[in-house]
C-alpha cells in the first residue's frame, strides 16, 4: 500500500523554524527582563547618588550661613567694654559650640572678631577646611597648629585664616596694605580664659609661601632675629620701626592668602605690649 512518507528534510526544517522562533521569543524575554533589571538598578543607583549628594551638601559649609552663625555666637559670648582690655568672652558658651575653641581674636577697625581654634585631631590643618560646626568647606575657621601652645608664650605664634570674598575671616587684614589704616589701627587683642593680651602691629607685608613654623627654629635668638629682619624688610609692606620687638614680647603672625598670587601670603605681625 502506498502512503505518503513524511519529508524528513521539511520536518527537520519545520522543527528548526519552530525552535528558532521559540528561542528568539525566550531571548527577547530574557533581554527585556535583563534590561528592566539594569534599568531598575540604574534608577536605584541614581536615586542613591542623589540622596547621598543631598546629604553631603547638607554637611557642606556655606560661607554666608557660617558667617551668620559666627555673628550669633559673638552676640552670645562677647560683652564689650569701653576699654578693649576689659572686654569679656564667655568661653564656656563658646566651647559649647566647639570644645576646640581656646582663644578669641579682635582687631578694632576690622571685621576680625572670631574664636581661635586648635584641632585635637591628627590633622593640624583640619580647621583650614572645616567650620566651627565641623562642616567641611569654606570659610573654615581662624586657627593655630599644635606646633604653638595655647598660652601665646611661644616666640612666634602663627594664626591662620582665609581671605574670603565676602569680607569675613581674615579678609580685612588686607586693609593694612593702606598706610593710613596701618597707622590708625595698630592693636590686636587676644582673649584667653584667664587674661587679655594686647599686641601692637609693627609689620604688614607680603611674604613668600614658606611654612614659617618649619622654616625657622624660633627658640634660637639668631633665627628669631632673622625672621624679624625679613618682616621688617618686606617689599611693598608697611613697617613701624619704632615698635620694640624681641623674643620676650614675641610675635603673632596673622597669615592669609593674596587673591592674585598663589605663591605669597599677606602677613600682619604684632608684638605683645608690656602690661
Query: How confident is the model at residue 52, as a pLDDT?
Result: 45
State the Cα angle at 92 between 117 and 82, rounded to 5°. Answer: 85
Query: How confident is the model at residue 15, as a pLDDT?
Result: 42
Query: How confident is the model at residue 61, as a pLDDT?
Result: 81
Whole-structure pTM value: 0.79
Query: How confident is the model at residue 51, as a pLDDT?
Result: 45
Query: How confident is the model at residue 147, as a pLDDT?
Result: 95
CA-based torsion, 167, 127, 101, 202: positive or negative: negative
Query: How confident is the model at residue 275, as a pLDDT?
Result: 64
Q: Which parts of the chain sit beneath pLDDT 70? A: 1-59, 275
Query: How confident is the model at residue 53, as a pLDDT?
Result: 45
Amino acid at each position: 500500500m502506498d502512503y505518503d512518507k513524511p519529508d524528513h528534510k521539511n520536518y527537520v526544517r519545520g522543527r528548526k523554524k519552530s525552535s528558532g522562533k521559540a528561542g528568539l521569543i525566550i531571548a527577547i524575554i530574557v533581554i527585556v527582563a535583563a534590561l528592566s533589571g539594569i534599568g531598575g538598578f540604574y534608577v536605584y543607583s541614581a536615586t542613591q547618588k542623589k540622596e547621598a549628594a543631598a546629604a553631603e551638601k547638607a554637611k557642606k559649609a556655606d560661607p554666608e550661613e557660617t558667617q551668620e552663625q559666627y555673628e550669633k555666637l559673638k552676640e552670645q559670648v562677647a560683652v564689650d567694654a569701653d576699654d578693649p582690655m576689659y572686654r569679656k568672652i564667655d568661653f564656656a558658651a563658646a566651647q559649647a559650640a566647639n570644645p576646640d575653641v581656646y582663644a578669641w581674636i579682635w582687631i578694632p577697625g576690622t571685621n576680625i572678631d572670631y574664636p581661635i581654634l586648635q584641632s585635637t585631631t591628627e590633622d593640624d590643618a583640619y580647621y583650614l577646611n572645616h567650620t566651627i560646626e565641623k562642616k567641611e568647606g569654606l570659610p573654615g575657621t581662624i586657627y593655630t597648629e599644635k606646633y604653638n601652645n595655647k598660652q601665646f608664650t611661644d616666640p612666634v605664634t602663627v594664626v591662620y585664616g582665609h581671605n574670603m570674598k565676602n569680607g569675613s575671616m581674615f579678609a580685612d587684614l588686607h586693609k593694612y596694605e593702606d598706610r593710613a589704616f596701618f597707622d590708625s589701627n595698630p592693636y590686636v587683642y587676644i582673649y584667653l580664659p584667664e587674661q587679655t593680651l594686647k599686641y601692637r602691629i609693627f609689620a604688614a607685608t607680603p611674604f613668600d609661601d614658606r611654612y614659617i613654623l618649619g622654616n625657622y627654629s624660633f627658640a634660637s635668638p639668631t633665627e628669631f632675629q632673622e625672621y624679624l629682619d625679613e618682616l621688617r624688610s618686606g617689599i611693598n609692606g608697611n613697617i613701624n620701626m619704632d615698635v620694640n620687638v624681641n623674643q620676650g614680647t614675641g610675635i603673632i603672625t596673622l597669615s592669609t592668602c593674596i587673591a592674585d598670587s598663589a605663591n605669597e601670603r599677606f602677613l600682619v605681625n604684632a608684638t605683645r605690649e608690656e602690661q
